[in-house]
A and B are shown apart, each in its own frame.
Chain A
């Protein structure tokens, strides 16, 4: 497809489990962003990649969160030892540059029990 693709769309994890969320950006988009959206809130910045380089990870809430984009295309957000407060929609977005319009995927909804 032509848009940003995320999988899985829905993930239920038991507390303490590790999860991995995948993002396939629009082809040719250099920049890739991960956002976390809790219920009733706006998207909150987690991390930013320019090609394969992670240029900003200031929004990652703890060292249990890890993101990678090894070949400058597909990205994976990994959450280790999930906790209930990690329950949220994780949105991936891509763009041609670091600024301007972001194109979002449909998100991965994580529920931690």
Chain B
């Protein structure tokens, strides 16, 4: 049973436009959510997080939105830059589990 789902394996966006990455979850006990970014042959690096009691968190070009009733969150990147090309993982934390529960990732490709 996949508790965190990222249904788009890949997404292509033109440089300068907005990138929107989506994530759905089934475990309503998650206390917080994080987005990680991963380049090839490197470990995932933390990008941004949101507590389950918030509905929005913004950090520079990155904004995460949480819709608890729909069990859905999204990551907005605006404007998208070539260096944003990477795999993005959504993860849920808390909920009685140790560590984080990850989705399968979305490969974001920024086209020049």
**Do B102 and A42 touch across chains, with their CB atoms under 8 A apart?**
yes
**B12 interface residue, CB < 8 Å from A?**
no
A40: which of B93, B101, B104 is its contact (CB, 8 Å)? B104
CA distance A93 to B91 in the complex (A): 14
A39 nearest CB across to chain B (Å)? 11
Q: Are A48 and B99 in contact (CB under 8 A)?
A: yes
Q: Which residues of B contact A (CB under 8 A)?
A: 4, 6, 9, 31-32, 34, 36, 41-46, 49, 89, 91, 93-94, 97-105
Interface pairs A-B: 3 shortest CB-CB: A104-B43, A42-B102, A48-B98
Which of B4, B46, B89, B93 meets A103, CB within 8 Å? B46
Size bracket of the A interface? 20 to 34
State whether the Cβ of A107 lies closer than 8 Å to any Cβ in chain B. Answer: yes
* CB atoms of A42 and B104 under 8 A apart: yes
Tell me if A33 and B102 are in contact (CB < 8 A).
Answer: no
Cα A42 to Cα B41 with chains together (Å): 14
